[in-house]
Amino acid sequence: MQLSRGFKASALAAAVLAATGSAATLEQAQVRRSGSQATLATDHEGDTHWWRLQGKHGTSFLSVDNLSRFGSVQRLREVAELHGPLLTGLCAGSFIVVLALRQSSRKKGDDGEKTAAGAGLGLALGGLLCCLPLPAGAAVQAGQDVAALVLAEQESRHHALRQNPHTPSVSELEKALGTALQGVSMRAATRTRLGLEECAIAQRRLEFGENKLTPPERESQWVLLLKQIFGGLFNIMLWICVACELFLAFVLGGDDKVTPVVLSGVIIASATLQWYMEMQAEGMMNALQQMASAATVTCHRMRDGVSVELQVLADDLVPGDIVELEAGQKVPADLRVVACSDGTLVDNSALTGESVAEPRTADMAPKCQALVEARNVTFSGTTVIQGRMLGLVFGTGDNTLLGQIAAKIRTSRTRSSLEIQIEHFVHIIAYVAVAVGCLSLVANILSPHKRNLSEVLTNAATAFFAQVPEGLLPTVTVCLMIASRKMAKRNVLVRKIDAVETLGCVGILCSDKTGTLTSGKMTATDFAVPVEESNGVLTAPVADAFSCGSEVDIRALARCGVLNTAAKPDPASPGSFQGSPTEVAILAGCRTVFGNSGADAINTAFPQVFEIPFNSNAKWMLTIHAIGEGLGKEEAVGMGATAEAGFVAVLKGAPERVLDYCVLDTAMRTRVENSLAQLMSEGKRVLCLAERHIVGLEPDFAFSGCTPEDANFPMDSFTLRGLVALEDPPKEGVLDAVEKIAMAGARTIMVTGDHPATAEAIAKRIGIIPATADDDDVECAAGDFRVVTGQQLEQHMPTLDDFTPESLDKNETPEVALFWRRCVEHTRVFARVSPMHKRAIIRSYQQIGGHIVAMTGDGVNDAPALKEAEVGIAMGIRGTEVAKEAADIVLLDDDLQSVVAGIEQGRLCSENLRKSIMYTLCSKLPQVLPTFAELIGIPSALTAAQVLLIDIGTDIWTAIAFACQPAEGELMRRKPRHPQRDRMVDGSVLFYSYGYVGIVQSVACWVVFMGVMPKMYEFFALQKHPTEYSVADTVADSAGMTAYYWTLVLGQVGAALACTTTRQSALWKWAPNKWLTLCIVMELLLALLVIMWSPLQQLFKTRELTFCQLAAGTTGFVIITLAEEARKGWLRWQDRADRKVQEA
């Protein structure tokens, strides 16, 4: 950056550049004027803090952090009197630039340039206050130049630090983050200056923001409410109906002003209820997040030059803070470990998916090492499970690794299956309603009963309105609300209310193994040791370790397990250990061989001097121990070591990795691998232990290296000591849950990082792989693809990340296309998969198999897959906030059985919606036929007011009551309904409503209208126009319409009972739904009130009917009820016959 010519030559350049930390030499940070000297004072490592003005009249100080204290004109004039206005103006003005630059560093683009210009003006102002004549134009140019220079330098420094925080030294970190790290160690007595100055915290918080992830952009709750009320195709159709009714009522002078008010209320109430439920779920989610972020941490900061220890909220941390963490605490930000106790372990599974805890150290990492593999860095969201550490905050909020992953998943979610179904249904109803409305308009115009324009439009609008199922919207809302509340009782938080219905359509459930399908509590079950005498491998249970008869070999294996461990005794619980579940299980099992005192003696005899921690790439850890005198020598010599051996190296890890470092002949390796396969086939996780005695090294030899390539000691020719088998037993109830999911026609797919054999064994135990499956009895592909590894997936990944059949056939090789098709068809377990593979697995089932997929997950690494699946299910106990944010459903108790309950609730919700729609559509045909019957001279059988009375006064409430209908017995024995192929409203529904029940109702209504009611047939035969009616004829006409209305109401009662079940008898289970029963009773009472009460008679043009006429109106009810009972009885008989055939 080149400064302007006039500015570069001035002493002002030195002052400004020095104050902003850009001074290259001390001379640039010194300015002399009028016998006084201003020196840029530093406290450590060249960090700049204040100007020290010294002259013959005394000494004064000006600091950027306390400038406001000296910022008054009077105070500046006093300093200027002592040291001259020019020197005072330079120093004060430089700090004004610094303050302005801090503000501009938080802005970009034009705003930043304007603020930089403001810095220059501030500089000019500072000079003017001290009687310094400085041209404003030059000051503005100076401010812009310095702003650009300093901002570029700051951005470069912070960017480099974020990329490689694990490689700088402590002094480099200290300078880069402007913090104090003097005397940093785990011993409080040695700490002299630690942390940031408290006065700088507020400014840093302004620069970097709070230590919170920026939440996804959320619209105002009131905007969401308006979208619920006025958004969506179905709502739009209903509002069109309201608009038509209002137009007819107020423009054309219609007399029906109640219907638009009632319908508007139904729309608003339904939308408000759904909005309220989602706001409640969102509130619970926010409460969970607040609970997670409300924890306090120990933070070290400087107060007036003295280091103090404070308890601060995790949200208040800023880059440069020093935090102290203990076992059990969550890491609040991205930290560089600057000091830690021996054996400190961190659980990184939330980020990496690796369940094995990883050790932490304060040593510098090599520059070639990846950040996520560095052992001197801990990331936000992980957990300290052992030891204590001091960490320097280098990343907060969105600048953490957690924040970067969260930012990548902030994409819009795909539409739910319910939205797809409602849209499809609205299209059907829209076509039907528009067609009926237009035909009604034509029929009214051509009708021999001449009507004015207002009556014609009213009848046409009524015909259109009658085809719209107004009760669907509140029925959907109530169904989802009931399902959501039932799920809440099972500790399931439904974040998106329509996710429940989508869960009912799930055909594939991808589930993690550890902690979801299994208990997550590892236990050592078996030892397997090679025995040279028999040239074989002997296996014994841990509880009876010496039953195999080879005590020496068992002791050698157990000694390796005691020495090579990351687990430590838990001081809070004597006799127990803390660390990763795997480490604790191995240590506890091996200590049983020696007893507690014997194991402690082993540790004393073989003190550890070096360690290469476990990492997810190498999949092993190594410890080196000095061989002590006495017991150490005896044990070592007893295991074949020479007397000169000074150290023993113990290697532990995945068998396929450790065996490569061991000296084994082909026969013994085959026997070991067979024993390994046998243990894994029993669903056990197996780790291998080996040791090597090291000779020829001095007792104080400094071991180094982290791989076989860079180690300064031999890492080959190990002696295999044996295998330790561990078991993570299935969770209680998982077997039953997997069985129910299978009965429901869905598949549970295990997605795990464990060994394929172990995963397959667990899958067989819990029913994911059926016990009857035999590879010899099925085609070869099924057996070969039942368990697929991550390595296989990596070799066959599509180049375009597109799994659609068209793309696979066009852009991929036949081998890749066939591989993924067979995976979708046959695979039940994906083992040794990385987080990168999970999204690919989800997409393959969606695009190749056409399945609706649910995904369970708990880590940040699961978030993309949770977002990709139609239903993302996060674990509430182990789940990270990012995973919960990406999910639709949160299992607060991490219980898979809750997913089964959710599937059942989703299916029940869909089934009840289907029944509600079937019921509502049944009355549409008899409602619209009277309009067209008038074309042939049949008297009007139903008025527009009576049509609206049936829709608004009766049908809508009964339709809503279907939301409370209990499940039928076979609901969870059906195959999942696919929203694209198996529509909620399909041809069978339309035939049932229009072509079956609708016709029965229509026939019954016309029979009663034409055959039972007097004069109706006579009016038709004589083609008598209503204008020719006498008073008696008008009464008879009203009575005929009343009879048609009454018969249709009773027909709808029959339809309501018929739709309550698909196969079970409604008569044998009378009143299965109390709300439906109540609505039916109220519907009948309302109909009788309309018929009998004079005020309502005048409003709806009805007349009182005789008992015989009322009884005749039951025709439709009786026919529908008997026909449906006969049909359902036939279906039940067929089902019994089919079962007998299957059993035979």
Strand, helix or coil for residue 693: strand
Contacts within 8 Å (CB) and 24+ apart, 607-612: 608/563, 609/647, 609/703, 610/703, 611/359, 612/705, 612/706, 612/711
CB burial class (10 A; 0-12, 13-18, 19+) of residue 1144?
Answer: exposed
Cβ(635)–Cβ(559) below 8 Å: yes
For residue 894, is it left (φ>0), alpha (ψ between -120 and 50) or beta? left
Cβ(421)–Cβ(983) below 8 Å: yes
Map tokens 């739910």 to a residue.
416
Strand, helix or coil for residue 1069: coil
Cβ(434)–Cβ(468) below 8 Å: no
3-state helix, strand, coil in the chain (%, to 5): 55, 15, 30
How far apart, in whole angstroms, are the C-alpha atoms of residue 680 and residue 756? 8
How far apart, in whole angstroms, are the C-alpha atoms of residue 559 and residue 376? 29
Strand partners, 182: 193
How far apart, in whole angstroms, are the C-alpha atoms of residue 948 and residue 727? 67
Active site residues: 512
CB burial class (10 A; 0-12, 13-18, 19+) of residue 1084?
Answer: middle
DSSP letters along 271-313, please? Answer: HHHHHHHHHHHHHHHHHHHHHHH--EEEEEEEETTEEEEEEEE
Cβ(161)–Cβ(334) below 8 Å: no
Q: Which two tokens stand for residue 295?
A: 């924890």
Strand, helix or coil for residue 353: coil
Q: Which two tokens stand for residue 303?
A: 């107060």
Cβ(138)–Cβ(123) below 8 Å: no
Give the DSSP H or E segment for 857: strand 853-857
Residues, the chain = 1144
Cβ(1109)–Cβ(1011) below 8 Å: no
Residue 360's nearest CA partner among 381, 380, 338 is 338
Residue 166 gets which letter from DSSP?
T
Strand, helix or coil for residue 180: strand
DSSP letters along 892-924, please? Answer: TT--THHHHHHHHHHHHHHHHHHHHHHHHHHTH
Strand, helix or coil for residue 530: strand
How far apart, in whole angstroms, are the C-alpha atoms of residue 376 and residue 360? 6
How far apart, in whole angstroms, are the C-alpha atoms of residue 543 and residue 523? 11
